[in-house]
Amino acid sequence: SRVALTAGTRSRGALVPAAEPRPCRPIKPRAMVLRRGESFSHGIKVRQGRSKKGATLPRTIRKPEVGKRAGAGASSRGSSAASGSPFPGFARPTPADVVALHRQLAAVFGERRPTQGRSRREILDTVVGTILSQNTTNTNSAAAFANLKTKFKTWDHVRKATPSTVQTAIRCGGLAPKKTKWIQHILKKVHVERGATSLEYLRNESKERVHELLERFPGVGKKTVAIINLFDVGHPDMAVDTHVFRYAEQLGWVPSDKNRAAHNAKVKSAKDKWPVVTRDTAYAHLDAVFPDRLKYSMHLILTDTTGGLPTVCTARDTLSFDGRAVFVNGVPLRQAVRERAEK
């Protein structure tokens, strides 16, 4: 008969190492079952409000601090002056370019609008869900998040739990030790500072202050904070993930290496030189030039892995836009959608 061995036991004189923990058993979380009018992005299920023709900015997304209500007259305005970009003088995209691309994409994938009123999701849910979505698929991160919520009733329980218990719950999302450390550090730090394991106070903070308060935590970058601003707090914030970054590079909406080298060779002052193009500098550029009223819809269309552009234009494909029509690998978008559906 087979004898079970534990760590430290010996079989015929040889030390038998501890067996690797089994990966967490993926369950079928409700978060992965989408209804009509829902999107799936960064491992998070996002409910959408109704899209009405000619509607002004929804209540969930706050009005830009610089100006007038976001309606048709604001469609060509970004969230800040062009000088807010780390690439001053780089002409693409113009707000009109963004409006034109959004019009074409929304005709195929639908315009995305936030629900009216306050988000029902806790901000900590979004923070943890986004951390779990790093370096894995939406399916795996959603399973890890559902396992975590099933195992622990509250975030306070996660804060007090042993790291090994949390790691077991989220293992199917990958990088469990690192993600556990990040998650528990945030929970413990917030509890010490606020006297409660909650980030709901961020709903009363400005867009910039939300970035300042959250980016100090390891594992939380500009993308995660922008998602929280966009989905939960209500600030227009153009989060840039791997999908958005790839599309921006393919569309020429961030400088190429050649563009950057040519620009930096001309300028004399170091402060006028363009930085290396990364997801963070791309975020700063796109957030500065995208119209505020389109940031929510464009982000979800570009990142929704169940009903958005990534279902047709994957990491192996190339996106292009001539100002009137969208193409995937040179094929018109609607044709690419039909061909993908037939496979």
Per run of 10 residues, the mean pLDDT along the chain (length 343 residues) is: 34 37 46 52 60 38 36 37 81 97 97 76 94 90 94 97 98 96 98 97 97 98 96 95 97 98 95 96 98 96 93 97 97 96 89
What one-character DSSP code corresponds to residue 79? Answer: S
Neighbours of 292 (CB within 10 A): 27
223 is catalytic: yes
Neighbours of 93 (CB within 10 A): 22
Catalytic residue among 189, 223, 271, 343: 223
CA–CA gap between residue 244 and residue 279 (Å, rounded):
9
List own/partner pairs for 74-78 with CB under 8 A and 24 or more apart: 74/291, 74/292, 74/293, 75/99, 75/291, 75/293, 75/294, 76/291, 77/291, 77/292, 78/288, 78/289, 78/290, 78/291, 78/292
Residues forming beta bridges with residue 39, ordered by sequence position? 46
pTM tops 0.95, yes or no: no
pLDDT score, position 14: 41
User: 3-state DSSP call for residue 140?
Assistant: helix
Neighbours of 75 (CB within 10 A): 17
Residue entry with tokens 């936030």: 114
Which of 226, 275, 247 minimizes the C-alpha distance to 86?
A: 275
CA–CA gap between residue 20 and residue 180 (Å, rounded):
18
Q: How many residues does the chain have?
A: 343
* DSSP notation for 16-68: PPPPPPPPP-----GGG-PPTTEEEETTEEEEBPPP-TT----TTSPPPTTSS
pLDDT score, position 220: 97
CA–CA gap between residue 272 and residue 275 (Å, rounded):
9
pLDDT score, position 118: 59
pLDDT score, position 343: 82
pLDDT score, position 77: 42
Give the number of C-alpha atoms closer than 13 A to the C-alpha of residue 252, restricted to the C-beta side: 11
* DSSP notation for 194-261: HSSS--GGGGGS-HHHHHHHHTTSTT--HHHHHHHIIIII--------HHHHHHHHHHT-S--HHHHH
Residue entry with tokens 């038998």: 16
pLDDT score, position 86: 97
DSSP element (H, E) containing 190: helix 176-194
